[in-house]
């Protein structure tokens, strides 16, 4: 056999071996899951779940609970105020706003009692500026509007007391922008369930929306 042929057989054998090895590694490798950022009482952490909701990894991004605690305090204060007997003896006359469109409302559910996060797409067709002042759900004790903010390269969350939406404007809450932090669920919720969310606007306008519960690795509606 000449030297060239020997070399050719050698190279072919090596290529076949490398190819098989690479295929085997790919085949038996764990599937890749994305990090998701989670807002908790103790700060912001990132977690990784498999499709069954098993925790694969977690690490803190920022342990700055101050903003969350301040928001909870504020929520409790409001709740106390709401619980005190009304001065006038009248209930607030809330009106459902037909010209506010809220679609693709969904909630990312996380295992082990971590807060859930709500997202939505809002369109303001009222013809005037709209001011979103809060959100409520009878399925959660706490619902807070949160903005994702980068400070010194670190992601933290800041409570939004209100969000202004200009006439004909839109508001999008998504995993890369803002979320509704939902805590203290009143019933066992699972992926595929729906919860009601009430959006409150300045001037006693409300919008009631059904939101779809999704798993920890969901990225959109
Ligand atoms: Cu948050």
**Residues 158-194: tens digit of each pLDDT:** 889 999 999 999 999 998 889 999 999 999 999 999 9
pLDDT at residue 208 is higher than 70: yes
Q: Which residues contact 98 (CB under 8 A, 6 or more apart)?
A: none
Quick one: pLDDT at residue 82?
A: 52
In whole angstroms, give the CA distance from residue 180 to residue 160. Answer: 10
The CA 123 to ligand 1 mean position distance, Å, reads 22
The CA 168 to ligand 1 mean position distance, Å, reads 27
146: helix, strand or coil: strand
Quick one: pLDDT at residue 65?
A: 57
The CA 28 to ligand 1 mean position distance, Å, reads 36
The CA 179 to ligand 1 mean position distance, Å, reads 6
Neighbours of 112 (CB within 10 A): 7
Q: What is the mean pLDDT of residues 94-116?
A: 94
In whole angstroms, give the CA distance from residue 168 to residue 95. Answer: 20
The CA 161 to ligand 1 mean position distance, Å, reads 13
Give pTM, 2 decimals.
0.75
Q: Which long-range contacts (CB under 8 A, 24 or more apart) does 108-113 make?
A: 108/36, 108/175, 108/214, 108/215, 108/216, 108/218, 109/189, 109/190, 109/191, 109/213, 109/214, 109/215, 109/216, 110/38, 110/47, 110/49, 110/216, 111/49, 111/53, 111/55, 111/216, 112/55
Q: Which residues contact 35 (CB under 8 A, 6 or more apart)?
A: 46, 47, 48
Per-residue pLDDT band at 144 (split at 50, 70, 90): very high
Question: Is pLDDT larger for residue 62 or for residue 143?
Answer: 143
Quick one: pLDDT at residue 86?
A: 44
Q: What is the mean pLDDT of residues 97-120?
A: 94
The CA 26 to ligand 1 mean position distance, Å, reads 36
Quick one: pLDDT at residue 180?
A: 96
**Nearest partner of 177 among 192, 155, 193, judged by Cα:** 155
Quick one: pLDDT at residue 72?
A: 56
pLDDT at residue 83 is higher than 50: no
The CA 46 to ligand 1 mean position distance, Å, reads 12
The CA 71 to ligand 1 mean position distance, Å, reads 10
pLDDT at residue 32 is higher than 50: yes
Quick one: pLDDT at residue 38?
A: 86
Q: What is the mean pLDDT of residues 41-48?
A: 84
């Amino acid at each position: 056999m000449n030297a060239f042929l020997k070399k050719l057989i050698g190279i072919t054998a090596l290529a076949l071996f490398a190819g098989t090895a690479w295929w085997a590694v790919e085949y038996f490798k764990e599937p890749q899951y994305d990090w998701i950022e989670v807002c908790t009482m103790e700060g912001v952490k990132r977690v990784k779940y498999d499709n069954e909701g098993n925790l694969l990894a977690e690490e803190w991004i920022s342990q700055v609970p101050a903003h969350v605690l301040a928001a909870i305090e504020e929520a409790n204060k409001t709740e106390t105020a709401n619980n005190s007997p009304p001065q006038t003896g009248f209930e607030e006359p809330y009106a459902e706003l037909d010209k506010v469109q809220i679609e693709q409302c969904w909630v990312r559910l996380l295992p082990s009692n971590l807060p859930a996060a709500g997202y939505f797409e809002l369109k303001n067709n009222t013809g005037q500026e709209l001011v979103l002042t809060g959100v409520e759900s009878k399925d959660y004790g706490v619902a807070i509007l949160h903005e994702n903010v980068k400070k010194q390269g670190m992601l933290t969350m800041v409570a939004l007391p209100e969000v202004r939406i200009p006439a004909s404007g839109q508001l999008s809450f998504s995993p890369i922008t803002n979320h509704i932090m939902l805590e203290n669920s009143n019933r066992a919720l699972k992926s595929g369930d729906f919860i009601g969310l009430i959006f409150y606007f300045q001037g006693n306008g409300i919008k009631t929306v059904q939101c779809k519960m999704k798993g920890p690795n969901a990225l959109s509606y």
